Amino acid sequence: MGFAAGAEIERLVELLAKLPGLGPRSARRAVLTLVRNREGLMDPLSTALEAVRTKVRPCRICGNLDTDETCAVCRDPRRDPALLCVVEQVADLWALERAGVFRGRYHVLGGVLSALDGIGPDELRIGALVDRAKTQGVGEVILALNATVEGQTTAHYIADRLREAGIRASGLAQGVPVGGELDYLDDGTLAAALGARRALD
Amino acid sequence: MGFAAGAEIERLVELLAKLPGLGPRSARRAVLTLVRNREGLMDPLSTALEAVRTKVRPCRICGNLDTDETCAVCRDPRRDPALLCVVEQVADLWALERAGVFRGRYHVLGGVLSALDGIGPDELRIGALVDRAKTQGVGEVILALNATVEGQTTAHYIADRLREAGIRASGLAQGVPVGGELDYLDDGTLAAALGARRALD
C-alpha cells in the first residue's frame, strides 16, 4: 500500500481489510483507533483474538463453536433432544439463539448444495445429520435454511433423505415479516404470504 | 450478548464491535470469517496485531507511527526539511502520502482546538511545532487541516504563532473538488470556489 506507516501497520491494515464489512479505508481507521487506545482496546483485542485462536473449535456433535469439544447447547440437559433445527451456518444458529425462540438442539450444515461451487451432499454434514436423527431419538427436524434457491433445494434434498429414514421434516413459514410494510416487500414474498394465507379466528 | 457462542467468542465480538465501521452484527460475521479461515487469516491477524501492539510507537519528531523512534518520513534524506506540512491526525498524513504529492516533512497535531472538549494549545503539539520550525530551518509551514470550523480556527491560531516567530504559513486551497459536479456541492464550497476564482490563461 505504501502510505509511510511501516511494514507492521501496513500488514495489519491489509489483514483487517479482508474481514467482511471492512475495506482498506475502514481498516486504516480501525488501526488508528487501536493505536490511540492501547490499554482499552488494542491489548484486550490481542488477548481475546489469541484466546479464540487457541481455544475455540467446532462442536463435534452439532458444528457450533465453543471452547469445549461439546458445545454449551449440546451440553444443556434442558434442551429437547427430540427436536433438531438444521441451519446453514453458525451465524444462523447464533441468530436463533439471540431470538431465544427455540429450545431444541441444532445441526450446522456448513453451507448449501451448489452444483456451481461443486458442493454436493458429501461436502456438507448431511450424512451425520441423518445418522444423528436416526440414532438419537429425534422426532422432528426443522430445516431452518435460508429462503434462497440453494437453501430451499438443500432443504428438499434433506427432507427426502429423512423421509426415507422415517423422520418427519419441516421448514420455516414464509410470509410478511413482523413490522413489514407491503409496499416495500418483493413480489416473491407477497406471493408466498398470499399463497399461505390463514383464516382469522 | 448471549448467543450460545462461549465467553471467548463473545468477548472478541464485543471488542471488534468497538472498531469504527463495525457493529455487533459485522463483528460476529468477522469472527466467523476468522474461525473459518484460521491459517489464511486468524493466525496472521493475531501475529500482525501483536507486532503492532509491541513495536509501533509515535515518531518523536513528527508524531507519525512507526516501529522506529524516528519514522520513515523523518529519516528519509530526500524529503525537504524546509517544508513542513501540519495535519490533524496520522490518518491525514497517510492520505497525503498515498496521494504522493508532498515531498517535505510532517507535523501531526493530534487534534484541533476545541473549547467545548477542553482542548487548548497545550493539549496539541503546537509548542513543539513552533520550536521545530524555528530551530530546524523551516521556510514554510503548510497548514493542511480539515476544512471544518475547528480546523480553520486552529489553522489561524497556528499561523499567528508562526508569524510572531517570523515563519511563513499557508493553507490548502478551497474550491470545487476534481471531478465534482456543481449541482451536488454545498453552498459553502460554491461560495469559496467563486470567491477564489482564477483567471484562465
Measured between alpha carbons, how far is B110 from B114 in angstroms, rounded to an integer? 12
B130/chain A closest Cα distance in angstroms: 24
**CB nearest B21 (choices: A7, A29, A65):** A29
- Contact status, residue A61 vs residue A128, Cβ threshold 8 Å: no
What is the rounded radius of gyration, in angstroms, for the C-alpha atoms of chain B?
22
* Cα B51 from Cα B161, distance rounded (Å): 39
| Assigned CATH topology for domain A7-55 | Helicase, Ruva Protein; domain 3 (1.10.8)
pLDDT, tens digit (0-9, with 9 covering 90-100), for A19-54? 998 999 999 999 999 999 999 999 999 999 999 999
Rounded mean pLDDT of chain B?
90
- Interface ipTM above 0.85: no
Sorted by where each begins, the domain ranges of chain A are 7-55, 80-171
pLDDT tens, residue by residue, B113-158: 998 899 999 899 999 999 999 999 899 999 999 988 899 999 999 9
CATH for the stretch B81-171: 3.40.1360.10
pLDDT band per the 50, 70, 90 thresholds, residue B6: confident
Report the SS3 class of residue A165: coil
Q: Is residue A2 over pLDDT 70? A: no
Interface of A with B in 113-142 (CB under 8 A): none
A64 pLDDT more than 90: yes
pLDDT for the residue B82: 93
Nearest to A47 by CA among B2, B3, B7: B7
What is the reported pLDDT for B28? Answer: 93
User: Which residues in chain B touch residue A46, judged by CB atoms under 8 angstroms apart?
Assistant: 46, 49-50, 53
Query: A49 and chain B: CB distance < 8 Å anywhere?
Result: yes
State the average pLDDT over residues B194-199: 80
pLDDT of residue A84: 94
Q: Tell me what pLDDT residue A10 has.
A: 92
Q: What is the pLDDT of residue A187?
A: 85
β-bridge mates for residue B83, sequence order: B140
Helical segments of chain A, H only: 7-16, 24-36, 43-55, 72-75, 90-99, 126-135, 149-164, 187-195
CATH number assigned to the domain covering A80-171: 3.40.1360.10
pLDDT of residue B44: 96
